[in-house]
Amino acid sequence: MAVTAAQVKELREKTGAGMLDCKKALEEANGDITKASEILREKGLAAAANKAGRIATEGAVGSYIHAGGRIGVLVEVNCETDFVAKTDAFQALVKDIAMQISATSPRYVRREEVPSEDIEKEREILRAQALNEGKPEKIVDKMVEGRIGKFYEEFCLMEQSFIKDPDKTVAQLLNEKISTIGENITIRRFARYELGEGLEKKQDNFVEEVMAQAKM
């Protein structure tokens, strides 16, 4: 079917991709906007992979303070040029990442940063749990590895579901931004502080509050 200029405009506004790329994706998807978006995302992920080896030493240190000053986050996000670092799109990404950290309290940026001794300790705990649940010995190891995957999803920032769009991970969000912005982007490090952390205090569900605010 013929692709209209209105369809190209709609897809471009939705994805941030170039006009020609939008037109080709729509032709491949027979005019289906949703399918065309998926095609662009797949191509975007490939484009992001091509940029992954490029050096990113510019960027910004962003912050997020939860209402009332009860949770504070600092995060360093790197890109390749100072020009991109100052753009609204990059600054918005840094803010979203800081808010993500505030809401989900990750321990690491990526799974490669998890100390091997921590993973082994987690495996031991999960194995004991599975055996205590009465699971057959022959399937325990497989169950443990599946639960280790859940551990990564919970505590590694890049593998968490993005709070503003749970259908994608933070890694997928980053790859989309790499594709549309055109530079390699990496999350280098972060620090998260919660008021009274480590002290005995009344338990408030700050995570729910932050996620509710993110969706406003």
* CA gap 95, 48 in Å, rounded: 21
Compute φ and ψ for 186, nearest 5 degrees.
Answer: -135, 150
The burial of 17, by beta-carbon neighbours within 10 Å (0-12 exposed, 13-18 middle, 19 or more buried), is given as buried
Average pLDDT of the segment spanning 182-207 = 83
Closest among 109, 215, 124 to 170, alpha carbons compared: 109
State yes or no: pLDDT of 75 exceeds 90: yes
- C-alpha distances (whole Å) from 59 to each of 29, 45, 92 are 36, 21, 12
State yes or no: pLDDT of 203 exceeds 60: no
The burial of 28, by beta-carbon neighbours within 10 Å (0-12 exposed, 13-18 middle, 19 or more buried), is given as middle
What is the separation of C-alpha 212 from the centre of its chain, rounded to a whole number of angstroms?
A: 18
Kindly indicate the confidence band of residue 205, based on its pLDDT and cuts at 50, 70 and 90. low
Q: 38: which residues sit within 8 A by CB, 6+ positions away?
A: 29
62 neighbors 75 (Cβ within 8 angstroms): yes
- CA-based torsion, 113, 117, 120, 126: positive or negative: negative
The whole-number pLDDT of residue 144 equals 86
What is the separation of C-alpha 13 from the centre of its chain, rounded to a whole number of angstroms?
A: 21
The whole-number pLDDT of residue 105 equals 95
The whole-number pLDDT of residue 45 equals 56
Compute φ and ψ for 68, nearest 5 degrees.
Answer: 90, 0
The whole-number pLDDT of residue 23 equals 87
Q: Read off the pLDDT of residues 89-138 as tens digits, 9 standing for 90 and up.
A: 999 999 999 999 999 999 999 999 999 998 888 888 888 888 888 888 77
Kindly indicate the confidence band of residue 188, based on its pLDDT and cuts at 50, 70 and 90. very high
Average pLDDT, the chain: 86
The whole-number pLDDT of residue 18 equals 67
> Widest CA span of the chain, in angstroms?
65
Going through 20-179 in order, the beta strands assigned E by DSSP cover 58-65, 71-79, 161-162, 165-169
The whole-number pLDDT of residue 99 equals 96
Kindly indicate the confidence band of residue 50, based on its pLDDT and cuts at 50, 70 and 90. low
State yes or no: pLDDT of 187 exceeds 90: yes
